[in-house]
Amino acid sequence: DTAVSQTPKYLVTQMGNDKSIKCEQNLGHDTMYWYKQDSKKFLKIMFSYNNKELIINETVPNRFSPKSPDKAHLNLHINSLELGDSAVYFCASSHRKTQYFGPGTRLLVL
């Protein structure tokens, strides 16, 4: 029933660790996104994929690597986590420009 799902919902980890966040959409959309929402609640786009192909890559550190195994999935892998990576990460998909957001993954780096 869930349209855009993300796992995990919460992620607490130590600095320097590597972690992944998974996203899946069952809406049949071609375009998927990763957004970061900082502590001031400001949203910023990180990546966008269209049919498994990277189309937007904002100025995001190389430690962040998105992977789209198929058009229903867009995962985010983060290497060498830093304190500043603490944020809420939202996955989304779109159809005719309307955005459908996942519930978010709250990442806390200690």
| Residue ranges in contact with other proteins by CB under 8 A | 31, 33, 35, 40-45, 48, 50, 55-56, 58, 88, 90, 94, 97-101, 103-104, 106
Q: How far is the CB of 93 from other proteins (least distance, A)?
A: 11
Nearer to other proteins, 45 or 72 (CB): 45
Nearer CB in complex with other proteins: 49/109: 49
**CA atoms of 102 and 7, how far apart (whole Å):** 10
Task: Determine whether 98 is exposed, middle or buried from the number of CB atoms within 10 Å of its CB (0-12, 13-18, 19+).
Answer: exposed
In whole angstroms, what is the distance from residue 17 CA to residue 74 CA?
Answer: 21
Q: Which of 59, 66, 63 is nearest to 82 (CA)?
A: 63
For residues 10 and 18, which CB has a smaller minimum distance to other proteins in the complex?
10
CB of 10 to other proteins, least distance (A): 11
Q: Which is nearer to other proteins, 15 or 107 (CB)?
A: 107
